[in-house]
Amino acid sequence: MSYSTTPPNSLILATLGHLTRFAPFDRMEQEHLEWLAARLEIAYYAKGEVVLSPEQGEAHKFFLIKQGVVQGEQGVVQAQEDAAWLELHEGECFPLGALLSKRPVTSIYRAREDVFCYELGAVDFIALTHKSEAFHDFCTRRIANLLEQSKHIIQAQYSQSSAEQQSMSSPLAAIIRREPVACSPETPLREVLTSMQQLGIGSMVAVDAHHRPVGIFTLHDVLSRVTLPGLSLETPLSSVMSPNPYTLPPNALVHEAALAMAKHGFRHILMVENGHLKGLLSEKDLFSLQRVGLRQISSAIRNAERIECLQQSALDIRELAHNMLAQGVAAEQLTQIISTLNDLLTCRIIELELRENPLGDIEFCWMALGSEGRIEQTLNTDQDNGLIFSVPEGSSSDEVRARLLPFALRINKSLDECGFPLCGGDVMASNPKWCLSLGEWKDIFDKWIYHGAPMDLLHSTIFFDFRPLFGAEHLAGELREWLSVEASKNSRFLHQLAANALKNRPPLGMVRDFVIGEGHTLDLKLNGITPFVDAARIFALAHGIMATNTLQRLRDIAAPLNLKPHDAEAYCDAFLFIQLLRLRLHHEQTERGEKLSNRVDPDSLNSLDQRILKEAFRQARKLQTKLGLDYQI
């Protein structure tokens, strides 16, 4: 039951004040808002009353919730725990798609509690889309438009944080990024210079038995104190170092260090706490102030000669991710950059290992699996990798495997030292189960496809996203081509995958916005990212698409599935927003010194991000609905 009135001017002003609290009305021009407010009507719907349904025919009104909650139901059954697929709250509107397409809605919209709605006739709705560019953009690119607003807020937040980090008013402890390298004053020059060359550093600090700094030696000193005097390289460091180096405490400000450098001509200042060496600030560090660049990191990785150098590069990758968030780099590009640099780091570890322990004529390919295989790594990622190899004539798979496993174990341990934890499920190349010949990989994939036990389905979600990383890439390429044919032929296996994927529903609530779990949190990876990843993988396998990246899969399946371009775009935008939230969450956890996780308290998000997250989860449900219909689940 509803009633409607034409509001007088005073109510128009009150309506304007209410509208501008929400997107897209907060970005519309005043004249368009006044035009809209003058034409809005207010309607009341009692709890349980149907607001809009497919039986009413072509959508005839635009609804904007003023107060209360409207629930969307799939099918004709009244809302129950498993029937509702969305909840709309104050400031949210519907049914945009139906109005733009001039068709009936596909769901029942029911008042979950007493509801007041602003209503606008369909003719006026279309007229407003022509008048207001901001309104048109919102209605046609709803989630993309909301994402754009969120990105500006995020960029402002991170830019402020980045500026604070680069301020001359920052404490030294905030900008010193690496552990100081030190040695005894009695260390021979040969050993000191060798260490400086291998570690790529320009100075060495001499410390006593209690780790108190007593001197410093720099590359600048080599010419004047070592080469020209013709000193033996067996000379102890104490003979050529500069004694009593200048020190400052961790809470000293950067500008104090800059003044000391300018005043005394120092190139290095030591950070000392309670007499103990804690850090070193160089002239170069002072003026770069964490401006870590993509080229510098990739160059450092390629030129690294020791695992310690790669450990620093791993830290630099995380710092770069923060700086790129500040610059407004999109989540898709950012995760690709993180994954690419992690690829480089892994490859360099393998190269250094092969230099120390060559494998001779063994032909192998190191494969990335899981999120790394999909090129979707965030800052919270463990190892998922495997090995594929060919078997030479006169040899056996077991013989080749026996030579590869110790090699793989050293690689896994080195990656762990660089901040990529060992996989808790032992999905690593050092596990004999995942160090296989091409024929063995085909056999095990074939078993999963035609047997389809629960563990087989779980393994396929990790291993079917494999990607070659280092070595004989043609082996992985041949396996991918074989899989794209075999998986698409087995409809039973795809049905099992779909049924398994649909057990994991996005956490949209019935009583409140979100279904929350432990610690009043929800899991952005399991319940947010995974529904998109799983659906995209299944559709890609079904249509022989060889891409492993989720966004590329979503774009590639649009044509064979007859998806509308704006639907495919909305799926991608939703996936990217959740990825962006994960990146922000991981950075904030790092800043607080917390263990990285994917669990977030939705109440900690601002109202705009809460709204976009709800929309993103709805897109996941929409994609799952498509999956369920296609596989009759």
The confidence band for 2, taking pLDDT boundaries of 50, 70 and 90, is very low
127 and 190 fall within a common domain: no
Q: What is the pLDDT of residue 84?
A: 43
- The answer to the question of residue 27 being in a domain is yes
123 and 15 fall within a common domain: yes
The confidence band for 427, taking pLDDT boundaries of 50, 70 and 90, is very high
More confident residue, 595 or 49: 49
Q: Each residue of 328-360: pLDDT tens digit?
A: 667 787 888 888 889 999 999 999 999 999 998
- The answer to the question of residue 179 being in a domain is yes
Query: Which of 198, 156, 160, 203 minimizes the C-alpha distance to 182?
Result: 203
239 and 130 fall within a common domain: no
Return the percentage of the chain with pLDDT > 70, whole number. Answer: 88
- The answer to the question of residue 295 being in a domain is no
Phi, psi of 280, deg, nearest 5 = -140, 130
Q: From CA 453, how far away is CA 495, in angstroms rounded?
A: 13
The DSSP result for 304-354, as a single string, is --SHHHHHHHHHHHHHHHHHHHHTT--HHHHHHHHHHHHHHHHHHHHHHHH
Q: What is the pLDDT of residue 333?
A: 78
Average pLDDT over residues 295-323: 84
- The answer to the question of residue 182 being in a domain is yes
Q: From CA 260, how far away is CA 562, in angstroms rounded?
A: 67
Is residue 578 pLDDT above 50, yes or no?
Answer: yes
Query: Which of 532, 547, 394 minimizes the C-alpha distance to 465?
Result: 547
Length of the chain (residues): 633
- The answer to the question of residue 490 being in a domain is no
Structure tokens at 20: 């501008």
Q: What is the pLDDT of residue 164?
A: 44
Task: Using CB atoms within 10 Å of the CB of residue 287, give its burial: 0 to 12 exposed, 13 to 18 middle, 19+ buried.
Answer: exposed
Q: From CA 565, how far away is CA 568, in angstroms rounded?
A: 5
Q: Each residue of 406-415: pLDDT tens digit?
A: 999 999 999 9
- Domain final residue, candidates 225, 258, 288: 288
Q: What is the pLDDT of residue 282?
A: 83
Structure tokens at 412: 């896994």
Question: Which CATH number do you get for residue 515?
Answer: 1.20.120
3-class SS of residue 627: helix
516 and 621 fall within a common domain: yes
Q: Each residue of 63-95: pLDDT tens digit?
A: 999 999 998 876 433 333 333 456 788 888 999
Query: Which of 551, 550, 448, 433 minimizes the C-alpha distance to 500?
Result: 448
Q: How many CB atoms lie within 10 A of CB 441?
A: 24
CA distances to 153, 272, 550 from 332, rounded to whole Å, are 18, 41, 10
107 and 199 fall within a common domain: no
587 and 534 fall within a common domain: yes
Whole-number average pLDDT of the chain: 86
Q: From CA 595, how far away is CA 585, in angstroms rounded?
A: 11
- Which one-letter amino acid corresponds to residue 56? Q
Per-residue buried b or exposed e for 492-505, using 16+ beta carbons within 10 Å of the residue's own CB:
ebbbbbbebbbeeb
Query: Which of 310, 320, 384, 376 minimizes the C-alpha distance to 598?
Result: 376
Structure tokens at 545: 């698409």
| The pairing of beta strand 364-368 with beta strand 385-389 | antiparallel
Q: What is the pLDDT of residue 107?
A: 81
3-class SS of residue 84: strand
Structure tokens at 450: 């035609």
Q: From CA 526, how far away is CA 42, in angstroms rounded?
A: 40
Residue keyed to tokens 């004709």:
76
pTM: 0.66
Q: Each residue of 175-191: pLDDT tens digit?
A: 776 678 999 999 999 99
Q: Which region among 53-57, 372-376, 379-383, 489-493 has the lowest average model confidence (pLDDT)?
A: 379-383
Q: What is the pLDDT of residue 461?
A: 92
Is residue 5 pLDDT above 70, yes or no?
Answer: no
More confident residue, 5 or 591: 591
- The answer to the question of residue 294 being in a domain is no
Q: Which region among 32-46, 239-253, 498-512, 553-567 has the lowest average model confidence (pLDDT)?
A: 498-512
Query: Which of 209, 398, 380, 175 minimizes the C-alpha distance to 287?
Result: 175
584 membership: H or E segment, kind and range: helix 565-591
253 and 129 fall within a common domain: no
The confidence band for 157, taking pLDDT boundaries of 50, 70 and 90, is low
Q: From CA 598, how far away is CA 381, in angstroms rounded?
A: 10
Query: Which of 601, 490, 571, 581 minimizes the C-alpha distance to 538?
Result: 490
Average pLDDT over residues 114-136: 94
Q: What is the pLDDT of residue 406?
A: 97
Question: Which CATH number do you get for residue 14?
Answer: 2.60.120.10
Query: Which of 315, 321, 281, 286 minimizes the C-alpha distance to 301?
Result: 315
Q: From CA 619, how far away is CA 576, in angstroms rounded?
A: 12
Q: What is the pLDDT of residue 624?
A: 94
Query: Which of 539, 550, 547, 527 minimizes the C-alpha distance to 495?
Result: 539
The confidence band for 147, taking pLDDT boundaries of 50, 70 and 90, is low
More confident residue, 387 or 292: 387
Query: Which of 556, 537, 563 minimizes the C-alpha distance to 548?
Result: 537
Q: What is the pLDDT of residue 328?
A: 64
188 and 135 fall within a common domain: no
Question: Which CATH number do you get for residue 202?
Answer: 3.10.580.10
62 and 179 fall within a common domain: no
- The answer to the question of residue 482 being in a domain is no
Half-sphere exposure (CA, 13 Å, Cβ side) for 463?
Answer: 27
Q: From CA 308, how far away is CA 310, in angstroms rounded?
A: 5
Q: What is the pLDDT of residue 165?
A: 46
Range of the domain at 609: 498-630
72 and 184 fall within a common domain: no
- Domain final residue, candidates 270, 288, 306: 288
Average pLDDT over residues 602-631: 89
Q: From CA 486, how far away is CA 483, in angstroms rounded?
A: 5
3-class SS of residue 269: strand
110 and 199 fall within a common domain: no
**Total count of domains within the chain:** 3
- Domain final residue, candidates 258, 288, 318: 288
Q: From CA 389, how far away is CA 396, in angstroms rounded?
A: 11
Q: What is the pLDDT of residue 152?
A: 59
End-to-end C-alpha distance for the chain, whole angstroms: 36
Q: What is the pLDDT of residue 555?
A: 94
CA distances to 162, 220, 235, 531 from 228, rounded to whole Å, are 44, 12, 14, 68
119 and 212 fall within a common domain: no
- The answer to the question of residue 312 being in a domain is no
Half-sphere exposure (CA, 13 Å, Cβ side) for 421?
Answer: 9
Q: What is the pLDDT of residue 567?
A: 86
